[in-house]
Amino acid sequence: MKRALAALSGVLLGLAFPRFPFPMVALAALVPLLIALQKPGAPASSAVPPRRAFGLGYLTGLVFFAILLYWIPFLPPENVTVPFLMYPALAVMVAYLALYPAVCAAAAAWLQGRGIPIGLSFPLLWTLAEALRGTGTFGFPWGSLGYAFASMPHLIQFASITGVWGVTLWAALVSGLVHCYLSARWVAPKVTVLLLLAALTAAPYHHGRRVLRESAPFPAIDIGIVQPNVGNEKWQPGVRDSVVAALIAHTEDLAAASAGSPPALIVWPETAIPARLPREPIYRNQVQALVDSAGVPLLAGFPDGERLPDGAMRWTNSAALVLPERGIVAQYDKRHLVPFSEYFPLPILNRYDFGQSNFSAGTRPGLFDQAGVPFGVLICFESIFPGPARDLTRQGARYLVTITNDPWFGDSAAPVQHFQMNVLRAIETRMGMARAANTGISAMITPHGMVSASTRTFVQTNLVAPVELGSGPTFYTRHGDWVLGAAGGLLLLFLAAALRRGRGR
């Protein structure tokens, strides 16, 4: 029975994310696991031992991440060098990621055995574990609980204060209070917990309504996005000329359609040009002629590479700003690379071709302030982390631009999961965002996280729409992940109380 409850939590967590239309399930998704760890109403000493709790939490994680990342083995074969490796890759990822819920469950069970209610400690542990999962070389916050509510931005306007980890803590705490309510034996505690639960669920809704109702209009500028819808064939020999020619033609169409009111910036997706734009004059001259003719600045994504003194090549995933009559005035090299895709954390494996790139990380921030209004650039994977967007906002960006190349996801839930994380970046920073994706989803997101314009996936199309400008730093922008500090402080108090009680016994 306990295993069934743990597995049920995994299923509910999976149902809270795209493509399943049940984000509100996330508010109760952890309840079955909590019941498995501690039967409501039973004495604290009856909590499952930490070792068994570890297994139950691990089962929850296995089920959840298998549902969330189901698409990995089904990536289009043309996008994967060794397709059969995707099954063991999924198994390894799920086995690793499930360790985080497992450790949470074991720690919460240990605290429960020393008198700390599992409904209070577990939400703190879950939030800190998710933040830890999103840091370091193998950081992967994909599927963090707060992202489940990206399709309901009116509920999570408080992310401008707390960041995504505050949303995660809110959702986990709702599950925790449900367990506390079920565990309370007397009327007074039940009523108290019920009132707290009602306040916790109602407050974000009323806060969101007030923010949206009282918010002053944001100034806006028009941004043009070209979605070329080109697959990996662009990397084949002999096709670069046709790919670049088509990209230029699409951009000319966009410029012609908006000739009466040209956008302030045109954006091409990540690696849209399969060439080292600053170092290959034939393509650089074509792009410059396009920009001069349109009279509109262009942000273009491309792979760059330079030869080092020892003869080796240093490759980067880059974006450059091209201005009319001035050429390339600034370049950003992606700083947060995707492990096992854009580089191997173990360099010895680079001698084998698993379809990975061999990029090096950049060192400079992606702030461009040469096109009239300063904006910050995030390349693909960088947009799923709160830190880079926050840093760009603190450095003076007025809006954010994300460029990405997602065709290798295929027609799965992954493009939607990836896109929705950008909603949190917009709310956290109160910055409008323009997202240019090679195969979609390209979109404009308002500072309140509303999708004001978007494209379908796997179609060639252009988009011109307003992007709203931020008016100043938010509480979260100024103070960062203070929620994690608060959660850690409370957890230390719980730990101190548990240790004191243990010594007393």
Q: Is residue 37 exposed (0-12), middle (13-18) or buried (19+ Cβ within 10 Å)?
A: buried
Question: How many whole angstroms separate alpha carbon 216 and alpha carbon 274?
Answer: 42
Q: Which of 419, 371, 396 is nearest to 266 (CA)?
A: 371
Looking at residue 343, what DSSP letter applies? B
Question: How many whole angstroms separate alpha carbon 351 and alpha carbon 363?
Answer: 25
> What would the two tokens of residue 93 be?
């990822």
Which residues form the catalytic set? 270, 334, 380
Which pairing describes strands 399-404 and 375-379: parallel, antiparallel, or unpaired?
parallel
Q: Which residues, at least 6 apart from 270, have a Cβ–Cβ distance to it below 8 Å?
A: 301, 317, 319, 379, 380, 403, 404, 405, 436, 438
Which pairing describes strands 313-323 and 298-307: parallel, antiparallel, or unpaired?
antiparallel
Neighbour count for residue 275 (Cβ, 10 Å): 20
Order of strands, sheet of 367-368, starting from the edge strand that comes earlier in the sequence = 367-368, 375-379, 399-404, 433-437, 443-445, 451-454
- The answer to whether the CB of 287 falls within 8 A of the CB of 300 is yes
- The answer to whether the CB of 429 falls within 8 A of the CB of 470 is yes
Question: How many whole angstroms separate alpha carbon 332 and alpha carbon 213?
Answer: 37
3-state secondary structure of 438: coil
Amino acid, res. 189: P
Which pairing describes strands 265-267 and 220-227: parallel, antiparallel, or unpaired?
parallel
Q: Which of 116, 119, 140 is nearest to 129 (CA)?
A: 140
DSSP letters, 196-208, are HHHHHHHHHHHHH
Count the residues in the chain: 505
Within its chain, how far is the Cα of 369 from the centroid?
25
> What would the two tokens of residue 302 be?
């491309």
> What would the two tokens of residue 250 be?
């699409």
C-alpha distances in Å from residue 410, one per residue of 78, 255, 407? 10, 29, 6
- The answer to whether the CB of 401 falls within 8 A of the CB of 377 is yes
C-alpha angle 282-287-290 in degrees, rounded to nearest 5:
130
The owner of tokens 């230390």 is 492
User: How many CA atoms within 13 Å lie on the side-chain side of 250?
Assistant: 25
